[in-house]
Chain A
Amino acid sequence: MEDSDGTCVVAQIEKNTRQCFQSRKHANCLLDIIAYSETKNKVILLACIRSFHRLFALYLSSGELFLDIPNDLKEADLKKEEKYKLWLKERYEETIAKLIQLVHHENLNVKELSLCTLMRFVLEEAQLPAAKHCQSKTHFPVALFRRVVLTLTSASCDSTALIGRFKEYLSYDDVRYHLMRILHKQIISKTQDTVSDTYLNNVEALLEQIDFPSDEMEELNHFLTKYPENENTEKVKSKDEQRKIYTNLWIDFLQFKLPNCVYKKVLTILHDKVMPNLTNPLYLSDFLTASYDIGGAISLLALNSLFLLVHKHNLGYPDFYEKLYALFEPGVLHVKYRARFFYLADQFLSSTHLPSAMVAAFAKKLARISLTAPASALTITIPFIYNLINRHPNCKILIHRETPEDLQEDAYKIEEADPVKSKAIESSLWELKTLQCHFHPDVAKKAKRIDQPLLKNDISLGILLETSYSDLYGKETKKKVKHAPANFNPPKGITGLPSDKLNLCWTLD
């Protein structure tokens, strides 16, 4: 549609809306607006949704949609007033269907506005119901809300952007309660074959948004609807009850085989967002141990939550250090989560009660993989190794032997899975010696520290954890150039220097 056409229609919609406001006589204008909403032009769509929002919010709050008619009554018997209400109610249903359809519109504005409108309806209905609720004892419009939730967790359409918006409603305790119940029912009913990745992604996004008020109160009192006192509301009000549902929800959700990105996202939020709200975090131990065994980045991420379980919840974990040792492989220095990994590894290895052979193995392996590490990772690995040696005086022989011997072979066996058996303590850290010749001046300096007597205190790793190439680069260029000696061999051209190496495989043309 043309733009000019759009503005014209928008004006028309505005006019219709105003008329509807004025009196019941113009109620038919509503039909026009619904008809307009069939368009694809987003300006018109937005105008339509806005007018729905205003109109039905008014109808709902003024009770015009409230219908109290026995089911068996025939249409002919209705009074004029009731007929009107019935008609209005049908329009309302129609609008809701339309809006739910629009939640999957491609334009984000349209999506958001439709969702907001729907939630507004939920709110208004919660204040004053559109129909008498005979079956459910609560005032909460569960049926409407369920439809909203279902659309949000659609199996085909990614609605993570919308769900961010949805968060503001989740601060209401009853909304949260119903959301969790609906989701839980839904999840239980599905099996692995029937869920799509998008669905899981949506559900995960919703779950991520759920948060509990942090205060210590057992009773929840922040509600969307006004609740009359009855026994059903007890569950909604109790924090424990909600937590139970939350726990079940997560545990059932984690049964699915998650796609990689969702898996990583879950693992990153698990330890600080989810675990505090579970009734018993140990329920997660199966999931976490399984994840830890997968290897690679997922193991890295699981490490954090697992650490919490071991540390705070007395989870016994056999072969923990063997697995940690297995995580030290060349790839770990290249991944995004490097900082987190080293932070945790530092905590695990900070104990001075670990056997020296094991610590030596960790140091040696880290040194070995440092040989292929990017410069940004070396700024952390070298101090890390240094700290390990510093904490365990027995490991000092790795960097200092009183009577050095000439060795043909390295005693260290890198393939050995058990750190204690890897014979690292019989080896020597040639890797650090090598890194003394690293191209980056800071790395070289750090590596040269092993030639000096050990420090009294550990090197603090805090600031070093998150170093990137850009930090290294920035550090070098931050200072104003004061002194820059230049070459003294005059070049004849691009490849005209004696030290030139381009000639090895390049020609200028």
Chain B
Amino acid sequence: MAKKKKNLADKTRNKKRDPEKKVNPFEIKINRQKQKVMGRKVSKHDRGMPGLSRSKGIQKRKATLLQEYNQRFKSNKFIDKRFGENDTSLSVEEKMMKRFAMERAKEKTNKFSLNEDEDDLTHFGQSLSSIEKFEEPLVSEDEEDGGRIDADMVAKEHFGGFMTNSNHEELGGQKQKSWKERMEEIIAKSKKEKYERQAEKEKTRELTEKLDAEWKDVMKLMSGSDKRGPEDNFPSKADDFDIAVRELKFEMKGKATDKLKSEEELAKEEKERLDKLEADRHRRMKGIAVEEEEEKKRVHFSADDLNDNFSVDIQPRFHAVFKDGKMKMNGDESEDENDEEEESEDDEDKEDDDGDDDDEEESEEEEDGEESEKDKDDVEGNDNEEDNEGSDDDSDDDSYKDIDSENEGDSDSEKPTVSQPKKSTLDLKERKKVMDEARKELPYTFPAPKDYDELLDLLQEHSEKDQLTIITRLRKCHHVSLAEGNKQKLETLFSCLVQYFADLALQQPPQLQLMDKLVPHLYELCQGSQVSAAQVLVDQITERQQEFQAICDSRKGRGLYPALDTLMLLKLVAILFPTSDFRHAVTTPAIIFIAQMLAETSVKHERDVAVGLFLCTLVLEYVSLSKRFVPECVNFLHGLLFLASNKDPNKYASVIPPFRPVGKFNDLLVVSKTKKKADVKMLKMSKVLNVEMDIDELRNDDFRLSVIKGCVALLSEFQTLYQELPSYREIFSPILDMMDKLPVNKYPLTLQESIKDLQKTLKERSSKSRMQVSMPHSKPKPLKMFEPKIEEVFEDRKKKKAASKEENEKGKMKHKYKKELKGAIREIRKDTQFLAREQLNEQMEKDAERKRKVKELYGMLATQEGDYKASKRTKKNNNPF
């Protein structure tokens, strides 16, 4: 391959340029550029040869248009069937060649040729048959110089000469070094040189530094000897004054610290923080891009900033550092740091024996622990931890290291200060011991689970309470600030816990209490790494959505309501992530999924009703802040009311799919008996939403009444949310209609009242007037100013607005069409001009001919006349008389 390439390259390199056609300088017209602008593309039309192109055009017209023009009244045609005559792509020689070949081919099919199928074999252009006669010995031209080979050649090629060194190399696989190889060699050589140069430089630098250091030592000695000399000689006794001075000198100085904050201030700060977060949330709700804003915030203004947005990108520069003979680039820098850290940690390990370090670690732990609960770690645990850390560093990638290393550094710098509260730790130790005994059955540290199974192994066989303790400890042991890689561990822990959370919902009976307790943990973990938590939840929901879709596809577009785990996950999403964002990576898909379930699942029994109602509650929660409109949910609630209403057998009620006007499941919620006094209970999640529950258990009026009550409660919430919507009336009028059909008399009084209230508000709000729609007034176009337009970043060509692909295509086509049209018009104009010219020529020729003829005739007549007159005259003259 390489060889072939080389050949190709050589060919192009060696190819002789075609001698440029000599152009008559008088034919070239140059469009002079008035100003030279740097960077402007040189246009195509800066020079041309108008004369030539015109004459070319005329030639072409003569060949085509003129021919047609001349043929215009002719009915006969003359077709030129000569081979290649009308093919302009062939040159004259090619034409001749082809014709010749055809001629030859024709000759071959000679009828009378006896040996027609015998191919004429040739050698060196002579047919073999003639050679066979051996009339002339065949001698190749090459050999004609008589076998004279120079001695060098002989030495190399003949009689074992090829064993010599140079040739041997060539035979040994690399006959000739290809271009590429040669170039590579050169590159390698130059690289090597560069590297050596740099290594040398590095070496000199190091040496210099060393020298500097040594010199400093020497300097110290020298100066010290100068200054200290006399002092040593006269050791003086310290008097009181000196002592006092020194005391004052070494006394601890009060450092300036932040002032202790009063409770009010703390509360204020907290409020400010929350306000800021709330403001953020509002901004996201309106769909203003977050990243942009943050980007803007991040910009650093220097004191010299002229506020003209001019900035020089200063990227942190790294000196190339040579270490162990390898050049290290800036990417490796962090690794270096890590190395150092590792070293320092090694040191720590060595110091461990002292015991001081332990205390210090402990107190650190203490601080973490105080945040939420009492600390349960003891010395042993810490030791383990240390071990963990050590192993982490060895095994983990360095993706988070540079982030964590900062923390690490902090803790290092804290060292001297932290060692102060020694006494209190002793106390704590004692306390801990007591606590240890209290719960000896649980270990204090746990390895972070790497997958779900490991987590299950950890948690299984423990009581609910212990499970929570284990999770707390897991989180503490692997706190982000403790070691690098802990962040990832916590992320895995989060994903496992989410899985566990979902699986708890599937157990029989569902362990909602435990799930309830898990939520704060999940929240905390989620705060730590939001993006990965988001990804985990999205994956979980996507899995369930696909399952749902598969069911839909197999059942003619109607799905089945999911199990409790999906519902709880959707709820978890609402807890962990803001539902009010205009677009959010987790909550938007989640609500789409909910809407899909509500719209595409038919209600066939009581559980469906319950799940649907639960989803509607979720929807309410999702949109309660942003007040977004979810038609699917309103439809579903309308459908529930329909299920509960009295149906008119003669009339189809207008309901919206997935509900159907007729069907056997349409009376699911019709209350059978009158219950005036009964108390309507809340629905129990673990019972009602469970997949394996007994449906008959729900087939009673209590359930129906609770559903109706829930439905009414949700509707009243929704109608408050939507009261500002201009189509309030249209949205809620079907619901109002349906509520009239409810058998209200059978319901308990409280429910009756709430229904009446709802009806009343709906009616009231429906009669509000509304403004006709009009576009918001657009700002008037400002007058054009004469100020220079300043572009922040100058680009030669203006960036076009990123239009859609289709529009781009359209624009291109338009442009092309315009160009073509112009060209065509120009051509047609030229054609007519040409024709007019031809006609004029024709006319002129005709006229000239006529003139000539007339002239001839006149001449003839004149001569005739002259002759006649002459003869007459002669007659007269001849007349003697």
Contacts and interface: CB of A to CB of B under 8 A. Distances in A.
Interface of A: 330-331, 334-336, 368, 371-375, 398-402, 404-408, 410, 428-435, 437-441, 444, 450-453, 457, 460, 469-470, 472-473, 476-477, 479-488, 490-497, 499-502, 504-509
Nearest first, the 7 closest Cβ-Cβ pairs linking A and B are A505-B710, A484-B534, A469-B596, A430-B726, A434-B727, A334-B657, A493-B516
Contact of B589 (A398, A477, A493, A502): A477
A439 B630 contact: yes
A491 B524 CA distance: 9
B773 A486 contact: no
Given A439-B623, A483-B531, 10 more contacts: A374-B595, A374-B596, A374-B599, A375-B592, A400-B774, A451-B776, A473-B593, A487-B523, A488-B274, A506-B685
A486 B576 contact: yes
B627 A437 contact: yes
B656 interface: yes
B515 A494 contact: yes
Contacts of B512: 494, 508-509
A434 B713 contact: no
A406 B772 CA distance: 6
Nearest to A435: B629
Interface stretch (B9-17, B130-138, B613-621): B613-621
B772 A401 contact: yes
Contacts of A451: 775-776
A504 B774 contact: no
Interface string B516-535: 11011001101100110111
Nearest to A499: B624
Contact of B656 (A368, A372, A441, A444): A372
Given A490-B523, A494-B575, A509-B686, A473 B629 contact: no
B474 to A, nearest CB: 19
B621 A494 contact: no
A492 B568 CA distance: 15
B847 to A, nearest CB: 58
Contacts of A493: 516-517, 519-520
A508 B545 contact: no
Counting chain B CB atoms within 10 Å of each CB, which of A434, A438, A450 scores highest?
Answer: A434
Given A406-B770, A440-B592, A507-B684, A486 B578 contact: yes
Given A441-B583, A472-B592, A507 B685 contact: yes
B635 interface: yes
Interface stretch (B96-104, B175-183, B284-292, B349-357): B284-292
B778 interface: yes
Given A375-B632, A483-B531, A493-B520, A504 B731 contact: no
Given A334-B657, A485-B577, A438 B629 contact: yes
A485 B290 contact: yes
A453 B657 contact: no
A453 B523 CA distance: 45
Interface string B538-576: 100010010001000000010000000000100110111
A59 B618 CA distance: 74
Counting chain A CB atoms within 10 Å of each CB, which of B517, B625, B771 scores highest?
Answer: B771
Counting chain B CB atoms within 10 Å of each CB, which of A373, A430, A482 scores highest?
Answer: A430
Contacts of B530: 484-486
Contacts of A485: 280-281, 284, 290, 530, 577-578, 581, 584
Contacts of B776: 451
A496 B519 CA distance: 9
Given A451-B776, A493-B519, A502-B617, A336 B557 contact: yes
Interface in B818-869: none
Given A485-B577, A505-B682, A491 B519 contact: yes
Interface in B594-636: 595-596, 599-600, 613-614, 617-618, 620-625, 627-632, 634-635
A159 B771 CA distance: 62
Contacts of B581: 485
B806 to A, nearest CB: 7
Given A473-B593, A486-B526, A404 B772 contact: yes
20 contacts: A334-B658, A371-B730, A372-B734, A400-B773, A404-B774, A406-B772, A432-B773, A433-B726, A441-B287, A444-B628, A484-B586, A491-B520, A491-B575, A494-B512, A494-B572, A496-B575, A500-B621, A502-B571, A504-B717, A507-B683
B292 to A, nearest CB: 11
Nearest to B289: A483
B592 A486 contact: no
Nearest to A505: B710
A399 B771 CA distance: 11
A399 B775 contact: yes
Instruction: Identify whether the interface residues of A are mostly helix, strand, loop, or mixed.
Output: loop
Given A371-B631, A484-B533, A485-B578, A401 B656 contact: no
Contact of B629 (A406, A410, A429, A439): A439
B513 interface: yes
Contact of A404 (B287, B578, B773): B773
Counting chain B CB atoms within 10 Å of each CB, which of A460, A477, A495, A505 scores highest?
Answer: A505
Nearest to A438: B629
Contacts of B630: 438-439
A481 B629 contact: no
Contacts of B704: none
B277 interface: yes
A439 B622 contact: yes
Contacts of A495: 516
B568 to A, nearest CB: 7
Interface string B643-657: 000000000001011
Contacts of A496: 516, 519, 575
A494 B513 CA distance: 9
A439 B617 contact: no
A505 B635 contact: no
B154 interface: no
A507 B682 contact: yes
Given A399-B775, A401-B773, A485-B290, A331 B656 contact: yes
B663 to A, nearest CB: 14
Counting chain B CB atoms within 10 Å of each CB, which of A432, A460, A483 scores highest?
Answer: A483
B717 A405 contact: no
B589 A476 contact: yes
A366 to B, nearest CB: 13
Contacts of B625: 499
Contact of B542 (A334, A439, A477): A477
B428 interface: no
Contact of A505 (B568, B627, B683): B683
B25 to A, nearest CB: 50
A497 B515 CA distance: 15
Contact of A469 (B515, B592, B628, B709): B592
Contact of A494 (B519, B524, B683, B771): B519
B588 interface: yes
Contact of B635 (A372, A450, A453, A487): A372
A477 B538 contact: yes
Given A484-B530, A501-B621, A434 B685 contact: no
B726 A434 contact: yes
Nearest to A336: B557
B772 A473 contact: no
B647 to A, nearest CB: 18
Counting chain B CB atoms within 10 Å of each CB, which of A400, A432, A487 scores highest?
Answer: A487
B575 A505 contact: no
Given A431-B730, A470-B545, A472-B592, A484 B584 contact: yes
Contacts of B281: 485
A487 B769 contact: no
A443 B625 CA distance: 19
Contact of A405 (B623, B725, B767, B772): B772
Interface string B702-741: 0000100110011001000000011101110010000000
Contact of B621 (A470, A499, A507): A499
